[in-house]
A and B are shown apart, each in its own frame.
Chain A
Amino acid sequence: MLKIDNLNVFYGPIHALKGISLEVNEGEIVTLIGSNGAGKSTTLSAITGLVKASSGTITFNGKNITNLPPYKIVKMGISLSPEGREVFPALTVEENLTLGAYTRNNHNDIREIFERVYNLFPRLRERIKQAAGTLSGGEQQMLAIGRALMSKPKLLLLDEPSMGLAPNLVLLIFDLIESISKQGTTILLIEQNANMALSIADRAYVLETGRIAFSGDAASLADDPRIRKAYLGG
């Protein structure tokens, strides 16, 4: 479904991604783990068109999407729940979700996705008219994921969905990610919480300073002593 081939990204003189290649197949949960500054978020920014690739290609369902503007990429069926949530603070929950469906025009369709998102996150339904900036961290995370689902993406990109959340909320969010996957959305997940990520993922890539250091199916990576030592706390 998504194929990244030899992707290079620079921030001025900083070489953030040094020729990474990865693949996400339809129906999978793939996770990208690695420490701070390894290039995880940059990878997602490049996929969504927020940063320009200096070389390499990104193809989605056979189409070259490298360096397309973000709004075209969303229309093709890729949507990102960004790091730090980035909800629209002064807009209501409902308006935030409506914006998530910006590329959709069919009213019945939109109503149906609203229902689906409210069923996944009943808390959001209770807060429909509340400004997003007044929600708790966990609720904002739900809003960010729900908003990303509103475009009915074929591929959902999740950037650090567990960041800053209490442990019971982390469990809840990961449960929800699994049910989104079961409902037929392909997921590329970025996490610092590598244990949790590997536990729900089919396959994983490990990024180290802009390069892919390891890759394989999630279960065997979770057993790999090198990865246990570096990312899973021994």
Chain B
Amino acid sequence: MHALIGTLINGIALGMAYALIAVGYSMVFGILRLINFAHGAMYAFGAYMVYFFVSLKLGLLPAIMLSILMSGILALLIDKVALEPLRKKKSIPIATLITTVGMSFIIQNFLSIEYIFTSEKKGFPSLNLFGSFTVGNVTIQSSQLIMFVVALILLAILTLLVNKTKIGLAMRATEQNVKAANLMGINVNFIISFTFFLGGATAAIAGALISGYYQVISPTMGSLIGLKAFSAAVVGGIGILYGSVVGGLVVGVAECLAAQYLGSNVRDPMAFVILIIILIIKPTGLFGKKGISKV
């Protein structure tokens, strides 16, 4: 029984971190109807920046802060340099999509450059800052608790930002009708940049949390986890923030249960097994709405 509870706790903590990555896919998709395949690489980039700044002896917390800033700016720059010109030229959506795939490989390769990072795996500072503690028969590591609490707080802040602030209202307006958003006096390009910044920043935080839990990073660490989080976003209904949170939790818990009871090599496919099952039952995902209601 306590093994089950331990597995559930592990799954929920990981699931919240997945949710943090998933909302990045969801927000960008909501505004641009674009799957940002560079998002997984942003997650890796965020972890590497923490590693880099820690190696400069800046201390863990300042390193994480700097990484958040750098990753947000990188995401924003990717949009400005490679995606915005395509939108301006009204290029086909698939061109933007393959550009984000290309960007993810460029970032990944940057992270394996010799003399700076190399392609070797690296040790990452542990986020198990307060050791572990035992409740009943169940042992909880403080890195799990930190992962859960930080992700929960950030997701709450994001939800408030989108639903209660002026810039959030502008984001929702841009999601629904770009032309009308322009007519309201909203600087739509700024809203898009802001959304990319948020996506990059949250990916970096997730990168720090998950790497601090596993204590290892590698240049390709973002590709599988990026796809899992993308699945989580689709499972929850892409474009819907709380859907991404539920999707992340479902994927996190399912893969931990699978690893515990079916063997560790069943772990990674679980996200996609769940994706397929949910989409067969409900094609728009758990909370997704059908299309955009036309007025």
Contacts and interface: CB of A to CB of B under 8 A. Distances in A.
Interface of A: 48-50, 69-71, 74-75, 79-80, 82, 84-91, 95, 98-100, 102-103, 132-133, 140, 147-148, 151
Contact of A82 (B169, B173, B176, B179): B179
Contacts of A133: 293, 295
A151 B180 CA distance: 14
Given A75-B185, A91-B173, A86 B180 contact: yes
Interface string B176-187: 110111111111
Interface string B153-189: 0000000000000100110110011011111111110
A102 B179 contact: no
Contacts of A89: 176, 292-295
B173 A71 contact: no
B163 to A, nearest CB: 10
A69 B178 CA distance: 13
Contact of B183 (A48, A84, A95): A48
A91 B176 contact: yes
A70 B182 contact: yes
A49 B176 CA distance: 20
Contact of B295 (A103, A132, A147): A132
B295 A86 contact: yes
Contact of B173 (A84, A85, A88): A88
A140 B180 CA distance: 14
B180 A82 contact: yes
A95 B180 CA distance: 13
Contact of A70 (B172, B183, B294): B183
A146 to B, nearest CB: 13
Contact of A90 (B181, B185, B188, B293): B293
Q: A79, A90, A98 — which one has the most chain B CB atoms within 10 A of its CB?
A: A90
Nearest to A99: B184
A133 B183 CA distance: 18
A93 to B, nearest CB: 13
Contact of A103 (B176, B177, B181, B185): B185
A223 B178 CA distance: 41
Given A99-B170, A133-B293, 9 more contacts: A69-B187, A71-B186, A71-B188, A74-B185, A89-B294, A90-B293, A91-B169, A91-B173, A95-B172
Contacts of A48: 182-183
Interface in B243-295: 292-295
B185 A151 contact: yes
Contacts of A86: 177, 179-180, 183, 295
A36 to B, nearest CB: 20
Contacts of B170: 99, 102
Contacts of B183: 48, 50, 70, 74, 79-80, 82, 86, 148
Contacts of A79: 183
B43 to A, nearest CB: 30
A73 B187 CA distance: 11
Given A69-B187, A71-B187, A98 B169 contact: yes
A91 B172 contact: yes
A91 B292 CA distance: 12
